[in-house]
Amino acid sequence: MENQNFQSKKFFLYARKSTDSEDRQVRSIDDQIAELKELAAKENFEIVKTFIEKQTAKEPGRPIFNEMLASIESGKARGILAWHPDRLARNSIDGGKIIYFLDTQKIKSLKFPTFWFENTPQGKFMLQIAFGQSKYYVDNLSENIKRGIRQKLKNGIWPQMAPLGYLNDKNTRTIIVDKNKARLIKKAFEIYATGKYSLRELRKTINNLGLIGRKNKELSISNYQYFLKNPIYYGVIRYKNELYEGKHEPIIAKKLFDNVQEVMKQKSKLQTKQLKYFLYRGFFRCCKCGYTITADRKIKPSGKEYVYYYCTRKNPEYKCPQNAFMREEKISEQIRNEIQKVSLPDNAAEKIINELKKEKKQTAALSNSFAQKIEKEIFGVEAKLEKLMTAYLENALTLSEYQEIKNKLIEQKQLLKDRKTFFEQKRNNWFEPAINFVKSANYAQILAKNENLENQRDFFKKCGSNFQILDQKLIFDFKNPWKILAQAEPSPILRRKMGLGEATISAAKPPKYTKATPKASQLLKRPNWRRGWDSNPRVPCETNRFRGGSVMTASVPLQLN
């Protein structure tokens, strides 16, 4: 009997808190231990061992708590000292274990400074209620947090610790740009978008520039891979695979982000057998059969090496008659000539840009006048609504008459607002693309003279489409507006005004320019221009066979010299 009483006095002391952050706990570990030791001394309990745990009790699986239960099961103690039942369990499984140990007499007693308990049916019932309240508190807190996060996301606010490159603003509870780190993050995106750096090389380069993580540690390769995929940097919040429009300041443009994703996608592909590099590999198709033009390298007896291009002739249903080989330098020469056709000299580009800017100012003045006119009309409708309300309040109109007139005025106001919004979105939005086009045409004259064949190829791809080879000649279509620039041949008078000098010989018959001829800026403002490929592509060859044996015939063959 005395031995049982002695055993019942042996207790384990259990203290727990959910986080290492002191400011997020009402009672710290030291406070709990101090009050529990005071209770043990008062009740003459022997503390066999102290268990300290820093982990949430929301879910089962706490290692120190399970170790304590295993020790109780082996008979090393018969009671537990804890600050409150919620320190022991906040989930149904751990709470059930405590109740079961009480039922089987493995636990004789539980003692709490803030909660009364006796090992009786009533006491266990009250303990179950305490465990249930603890679980309800955790579940309710979780729902409140989730609701708060959802509301923040709807408002475009980042709901967590600020990512690398941003700082948490405690006053506004939003994130702001960390200017020191944001500069390096933007540089990392720009460098990786070139495709010339691996993640390992990028890490070494940017870390050497001084980019460090939140704990002043160097970033790992996985850190770089993570933030290069994070849309937060172009202004969009991704939370649980769902995107939300953010209100924070972006660090990069979306176009740069998309370029980085494309580079990462290409680098993640399984590396197949490395193909030999050829300048125009995969660029042209055969004009006869539609199959790809391939390349090969030959060495003359003199030791001089040259590259030539020819049809792969892989169509099993059609024997391609085009056997001609085309030297790479001949292709480059023709590309250079075609680029020259769409080039503008400095004085011509400068005059066209000045003319565009002048017209932009004139259009802006007219636009402001038009916008003011719409504003005036909206103000007039609002005044009518005020008068209508006054007339109704003075019983000059019935309710049905008031509602009928009011509805018409509201619809009229909305139409005016829509006109204003549409006008503000559309006005002057063509000037910048037009100026950029003129600058590109001006750059073409420089590009045609230098020896950078890769840049010439890329520019040629930008202004043309449907690239094919027929009898050692390049066949293609100029895209708009390059087509107009390549085909239009101004009159001598207009050429002198534009500073183009003497007219060049053209295979196409030049159009006649009259007084009705639009300005250069009007030529650039074509509402039916389409980006990319021609809206009505033509097959430039007399016959063109594609895979499957179908034959297409063009009514007017186009051959460019």
pLDDT means per 10 residues in the chain (561 residues)?
A: 57 83 58 89 90 87 92 90 90 90 90 86 87 82 78 84 89 88 92 90 90 86 91 87 83 90 81 70 85 84 84 80 81 87 83 80 70 84 86 84 83 78 64 80 82 86 87 86 71 45 38 42 44 43 40 32 30
Q: The domain containing residue 431 runs over which residues? A: 344-447+481-529
419: how many CB neighbours lie within 10 A of its CB? 15
Domain final residue pick, 235, 268, 301? 268
pLDDT value of residue 425: 60
* Domain CATH for 83: 3.40.50.1390
pLDDT score, position 189:
93
The answer on 118 and 13 residing in a single domain is yes
Total of domains in the chain: 3
Q: How far apart are CA 80 and CA 68, in angstroms?
A: 9
366 and 411 co-located in one domain: yes
Q: Is 26 contained in some domain?
A: yes
Q: What is the pLDDT of residue 538?
A: 44
Centroid of chain to Cα 152? 20
Largest CA distance in the chain: 124
The set of residues, in sequence order, having a beta carbon less than 8 Å from that of 10 and lying 6+ positions away, is: 45, 46, 48, 76, 77, 78, 79
Does residue 485 sit in the same domain as residue 519? yes
Answer yes or no: do 119 and 194 share one domain: no
Say yes or no: 368 and 250 in one domain: no
> 327 in a domain, yes or no?
no
Q: Both 128 and 170 in a single domain? A: no
Tell me, yes or no, whether 351 and 251 share the same domain. Answer: no
3-state secondary structure of 288: coil
**Whether residues 111 and 199 fall in one domain:** no
> CB–CB of 101/72 below 8 Å?
yes
d(CA 478, CA 494): 23
The predicted structure's pLDDT at residue 561: 30
- Structural domain includes residue 429: yes
Q: Is 330 a domain residue?
A: no
